[in-house]
Amino acid sequence: MKKIQFDNLQETLYNETLDNGLDVYILPKRGFSKTFVTFTTKYGSIDRTFIPRGKNEEVTVPDGIAHFLEHKMFEKEDGDVFQKFSVNGASANAFTSFTRTAYLFSATDKLYDNTEILLDFVQEPYFTEKTVDKEKGIIAQEITMYDDQPDWRLYFGTIENMFHEHPVKIDIAGTVASIQDITADHLYECYETFYHPSNMVLFAVGAVDPAEMMAFIKKNQDAKTFDEPAEIIRSFPTEADTAAKTDRNLVMDVSKPKLNIGMKCNKTDIEGEEMLIQELSAGLVLDILFGRSSEFFTESYNEGLIDESFSYDFTMENGFGFAMVGSDTDQPVELETAIRKTIRDAVENWPITDVELNRMRKKKIGQFMRSLNSPEFIANQFTRYTFNNMNLFDVIPTFEKLTLENLKDAFNTFCDESGHTVYSIVPAVKAK
């Protein structure tokens, strides 16, 4: 077991890669009562075209399958896994993102019983046509729930606008129609391909003894038989740098229009330190250009172009990335102009100096320190970083060494207008 100390943060991380390939990380936190454990596979909604384990031909599976699989992992021949966690006082959950599926629990008691339940339920698939069909009604309601959420529609509509081919544009849960095609065989095929321990990370953080926990996990894994690790061959279409659509809107029953600008990142085939520098820099640039102390924010808020719903964000994974800026607004045209102008002005006359960089650097370091109070943040983010060959604990040293050049480079990956798009939600009464 490796022991990695972060003196400035007063944290110690323990790590070991087990014989079956599973990467285990343990971070004890003093003073905490709970332990938060996540068990995550590097498999999300974008992994829809791949060569199944043991086969030679590429397949494309129905949309929404990674999320469907996540739901179905909880049902076993002897009942529902939530029941077992509940007996041991653990609050369990799972989520599927574009690139990951995570299973997790949080418990203040019976850590090992709960860890065993987590490892065993994720490593013992049980799918039948009957249970698969039964789930379709539940997931259809989940999809319908999201269909009625204007902010989700705005977010996803913007992504659909940006991408021509890349599967990030497909809703994570699929559609009510696409999930009807999912069968138990599909689930097994995806499970066998993506749930091998060598494609997974286990992270435990909180009230945990590292040596005992590691020994417990090892014993559990050693008692199981797995196939040899095999390289996973995923296939992604070529994606142009331009936005697929420039402008679309959707009529919904909302009180105020919503507008969102998406800016596609044109440098996404990166990982490790390069990715860390790019994404931290991009976040800093957005903070400087659009944050609460920016000229844009002050003017737009004073003029009523934006309200408390205003937000901005930079997202990236290997293969896709984008910045978004949006708000509820009574003046969508003016807001669009103001956001575009801020970007254009920065292209023509770079406004960021060391003064802004140093201030935002401090802000970001403080924000990161604050996040380290949260076991949930540490486990989820650490796993995401690991899958992209980055280390969460490099964040502060990286912030400390970022230069104006790094910021400019990151800005240049999404400032080109051909990659920009606008999506809006229009109230029904005001619809044309």
Residues 372-431 that bind other proteins (CB under 8 A): 372-375, 428
67 binds other proteins (CB under 8 A): no
Q: Is the dihedral of CA 105, 106, 107, 110 positive or negative?
A: positive
Q: How far apart are CA 334 and CA 76, in angstroms?
A: 54
Quick count: other Cβ atoms within 10 Å of Cβ 281? 25
Q: How far apart are CA 379 and CA 169, in angstroms?
A: 26
34 vs 186 by CB, closer to other proteins:
34
Q: Where are the alpha helices (DSSP H) in 40-198?
A: 65-73, 81-87, 111-123, 129-147, 150-162, 184-194
Give phi and psi for 328, each to the nearest 5. Answer: -70, 140
> Which residues in 119-138 contact other proteins (CB under 8 A)?
134-138
Q: How far apart are CA 112 and CA 219, in angstroms?
A: 12
**Choice from 12, 97, 108, 318 touching other proteins (CB under 8 A):** 108
According to DSSP, the residues that pair with 256 across neighbouring strands are: none
109 binds other proteins (CB under 8 A): yes
**Choice from 40, 106, 281, 424 touching other proteins (CB under 8 A):** 106
76 binds other proteins (CB under 8 A): no
> Which residues in 36-65 contact other proteins (CB under 8 A)?
none
Active-site hit among 57, 58, 70, 348: 70
359 binds other proteins (CB under 8 A): yes
Q: How far apart are CA 103 and CA 113, in angstroms?
A: 16
149 binds other proteins (CB under 8 A): yes
Of 39-47, 226-234, 362-370, 408-416, the segment contacting other proteins by CB under 8 A is 362-370
**Choice from 311, 367, 403, 418 touching other proteins (CB under 8 A):** 367
> Which residues in 284-303 contact other proteins (CB under 8 A)?
291-295, 298, 301-302
142 vs 271 by CB, closer to other proteins:
142
Q: Is the dihedral of CA 375, 171, 146, 70 positive or negative?
A: negative
Given the structure tokens 């998406």, which residue do they identify? 262
Of 269, 279, 286, 281, the C-alpha closest to 320 is 269
299 is catalytic: no
Of 31, 21, 8, 26, the C-alpha closest to 393 is 8
Quick count: other Cβ atoms within 10 Å of Cβ 322? 24
21 vs 427 by CB, closer to other proteins:
427
Nearest distance from C-beta of residue 384 to other proteins, angstroms: 21
186 vs 364 by CB, closer to other proteins:
364
91 binds other proteins (CB under 8 A): yes
DSSP 349: S
Nearest distance from C-beta of residue 416 to other proteins, angstroms: 29
From residue 221 to residue 260, the character string flagging contacts with other proteins as x (rule: CB under 8 A) and all else as - is -------------------------------xxxxx----
> Which residues in 309-348 contact other proteins (CB under 8 A)?
309, 328
Nearest distance from C-beta of residue 105 to other proteins, angstroms: 10
Nearest distance from C-beta of residue 255 to other proteins, angstroms: 4
128 vs 293 by CB, closer to other proteins:
293
Q: Say which amino acid occupies 25.
A: Y
Nearest distance from C-beta of residue 54 to other proteins, angstroms: 33
Q: How far apart are CA 157 and CA 175, in angstroms?
A: 14
Q: How far apart are CA 64 and CA 44, in angstroms?
A: 9
Of 149-157, 241-249, 314-322, 335-343, the segment contacting other proteins by CB under 8 A is 149-157
Q: Say which amino acid occupies 80.
A: D
Nearest distance from C-beta of residue 216 to other proteins, angstroms: 20
Nearest distance from C-beta of residue 288 to other proteins, angstroms: 10
Nearest distance from C-beta of residue 345 to other proteins, angstroms: 17
Of 8-16, 117-125, 196-204, 229-237, the segment contacting other proteins by CB under 8 A is 8-16
How does DSSP assign 237-302, residue by residue? ----SS-S-SEEEEEES-SS-EEEEEEE-S--S--HHHHHHHHHHHHHHHHHHHSTTSHHHHHHHH
Of 52-60, 143-151, 271-279, 379-387, the segment contacting other proteins by CB under 8 A is 143-151
CB under 8 Å to 432, separation ≥6 — which residues?
none
- Active-site positions read 70
